[in-house]
Homo-oligomer: A and B are copies of this chain.
Amino acid sequence: MKNKIFYPYFLIICIGLVSLTSCETKKPAIPRDLAKQQLIPKPVNVNATGSSFEINGNTSIQYQSDEVQPIATYLAEILRPATGFEIPVKVMDSKPSSDHIFLTLTDSITSNEGYELITKENGIVIKANKPAGLFYGVQTLRQLLPASIEKGTKVSDTLLVATGIITDSPSYGYRGVMLDVSRHFFGVDDVKRVIDLLSIYKMNRLHLHLSDDQGWRIEIKSWPNLTKHGGSSEVGGGEGGFYTQEQYKDIVKYAQDRFITIVPEIDMPGHTNAALASYPELNCNGKAPELYHGTNVGFSTLCIDKEITYKFIDDVFGELAAMTPGEYIHIGGDESHVTPLKDFIPFINRAQKIVEKHGKKVIGWDEIAHAELLPNTVVQYWSKGENAIKGIGQGAKVLMSPATKAYLDMQYDSITPIGLHWAAYIEVDEAYNWDLATFEEGISKENIIGIDAPLWTETVQTMDDIEYLVFPRVLGLAEIGWTPTSQRNWNEYKVRLGNHKDRLEALDINYYPSTRVPWKSVSVQNDSIIKK
């Protein structure tokens, strides 16, 4: 049926070019399985048809409305170095199914982040309801191209894309990673690289843990000593560091362009030694403690009874909210072991109201469920299911980060050179083999907004360290957040993960080469296809 319909178009194109010799009626075949075995997270529906579309010197990227233009350019910037061609980006000016890649928004796709990627021998159309969906369609298209495109150098004159229809949308709306930049500080370029890599796997949140006992990392103009003094330390006694507001806004914008929302966390009332060391008036005894370079937790607290404490958090959240386009600010709330519950509850109640006053909603670690939650407050489950369930009883939603599965700082096994293991050793299969909606009795899909995978950095000092703990586990965690549980299983996933070997290497990622994954170089197959 399809051939009948498209054959006449094809003839018209050939005649149009006055070059009948270049008219191939047969395009190179791409095995259907190969097309499917490249994709992480697994799309909801892949119907590969076994043929190919050729990206070549005639290919342009066309978009239908201005808001789509940046995504078209993003795609062009992937294709240009790989092909050496210009790959022009322009408003739709020709029939889309004629050698072009066409990006369009339509209400006929209903999911906020869903998309449809239709590849035929004579063109590609990506449709979505929102720009985010188009961006994810582009990421899927990217994974259908040879891994070597990720090197940023010329691969071939032509790139082939497997034909078929992919219909896709995520199971959960919040799919993120948390990076602790307090225990060890990481600069703007490192954060941008994390953003780039997460976006490939359709993650949409980066939670930055911006303050802790060991360091305060975000400039607050009304309380300058927070970074001047409190930003000068880190675990092990290194020099620390912080983001100026300009740098932070740059990160936020860079992430936004990749459809990632930064979720900033200021942890309180505990985990506050860096702030307490910077401003003595925040301490109940009026004395500033020393900066802290160790890895203990639970020893610090803001002074709950002093009014200056609330002036402080009002100023901090006010400046932070002004730089935050996302809806959430994270107030921490974990491990406040030296704050009695009778103080903790009114503090969290008041902190929530201050955040909402600044137009943002609250996320907090699961301990905050002891307080009276506002209707939009989200409880982040990390340690205790009973806390999360208590939050649900108050009408709250839950963000899933159980330490035994989602903590990226846990070692893979007992010989992993960095990382901790207080919660568990988490091999690659163990990070994959669980489900958000069945992990804890009493927390079901309708209660859950998604997954956040924290990387605490007591032992993590370099970008290589980050990559070693995050990859490849984060690919599986991304799939847990995106793909319906009924369509996931390790034995099938591990093949797709193994096929990402060349891609991870082309991206120069220092991943952990788990022996449980059948790593496989599929570039030979791709090369045999692309070098006709």
Contacts and interface: CB of A to CB of B under 8 A. Distances in A.
Interface of A: 1-2, 5, 9, 45, 64, 95-97, 102, 104, 106-108, 110-113, 118, 120, 125, 127, 129, 165, 167, 170, 172-174, 327-328, 361, 372, 374-376, 378, 389-390, 393-395, 397, 446, 449
Given A45-B446, A389-B1, A375 B110 contact: no
A252 B118 CA distance: 33
Within the oligomer, what is the number of copies of this chain? 2
Most buried by B among A113, A372, A390: A372
A446 B173 contact: no
Contact of A393 (B2, B113, B389, B395): B2
User: Which of A95, A374, A375 has the largest count of B CB atoms less than 10 A from its CB?
Assistant: A375
Nearest to A399: B108
Given A107-B327, A108-B173, A118-B375, 4 more contacts: A104-B376, A110-B173, A125-B395, A165-B395
A418 to B, nearest CB: 34
Nearest to A65: B359
A112 B167 CA distance: 18
A375 B97 contact: yes
A530 to B, nearest CB: 25
Nearest to A389: B1
Nearest to A353: B95
Nearest to A165: B395
A92 to B, nearest CB: 8
Contacts of A393: 1-2, 5
Contacts of A395: 97, 118, 120, 125, 165
Nearest to A261: B107
Contacts of A1: 389-390, 393
A108 B95 CA distance: 39
Contacts of A376: 64, 104, 106, 108, 127
Contacts of A2: 393
Given A5-B393, A127-B376, A393-B2, A167 B446 contact: yes
Contacts of A129: 112
Contacts of A390: 1, 5
Nearest to A118: B395
Contacts of A446: 45, 167
B327 A172 contact: no
A8 to B, nearest CB: 8
**What are the 3 tightest A-B residue pairs by CB atom distance, in nearest-first order?**
A110-B173, A108-B397, A125-B375
A9 B373 CA distance: 12
B372 A9 contact: yes
Contact of A394 (B5, B106, B113): B5
